[in-house]
Chain A
Amino acid sequence: MNKIFWPVLFALTLSACGTTGGTQATVEDRTGGSTTAATTATPAGGTESTGVSGAGVTGTALAGDASADPRKNPASPLSKRSVFFDFDSFVVKDEYRPMLEAHAGYLLSKRDARVILQGNADERGSREYNLALGQKRAEAVRKALAVLGVSDAQMEAISFGEEKPRNEADTEAAYAENRRTDVVYGDE
């Protein structure tokens, strides 16, 4: 009957450490002793802070300045970032060849550039299984780029599974939109 003398479980919510989209861990005390607040705040991921080395001045490309970054030029195949897949398929269709060749060319010319291939799946079924399906779509694009000569060190294939749907509707058209791999550069 000891259990009943435990203080009822409670949780302390700690304030977020400033970062938007950050993650907080909160504390639960089952010991009856004083609650020690331990927290881990993690900055919103993906956004790496760009440090300035030495006294150099770094210019920031203005939006719409196509000449500054060809990846942002709507006329360039580099601005195309999504590869869509058929239902239950992990084959990169031929129509994406020009786009992937352009990205391979860019990566080959900029050896310090890194690219993340983010696979996605539609929302039907198990989240973990969908994560693995999204991974297969990311791997398909990674392999296509590898065939075009891109080094593995420049690429990371990851999956969001069904966690980041582009279209949240419960329709076949929405599912098709979510079965895709996005090409995202590390500095974006």
Chain B
Amino acid sequence: MEEDDAMRRMTDETAASEVRSLQQAAARAAASKRQAEVAGVVGQHRDLISAKVRGNTRLPDNLTGNPEVRCLVKLLPTGEVQSVRVTKSSGNTAYDEAVVRAIEKSSPFPLPADRDARAAFVPELSFVHRPK
């Protein structure tokens, strides 16, 4: 009977371990599903913000080449732009100004309603703007 007992215990333990690994797999699946969901929402809003800024950008006429402007934007959780700082100038003041202006004009940014997805945007965003 000892063997029986031992046998039963083993079976119990195996069952428990199987349950455990099943539960873990489910949790992992849920988490990666959630992660994908959040990433999707983040990507979608990243495109929305990019499109809004692009729509408000008026490129200066005197642009030559394809210079890049980099900006750091401080955002409130509401999507309102608190400040814009040029971190890398294009070398063309008019273009730098046009980019800053477009970002300011695009305030408030369309942020996701989902708190976790929104966390990706707040409190700071970095912008790279190229003419083409």
Asked if chains A and B are in direct contact (CB within 8 A), the reply is: no
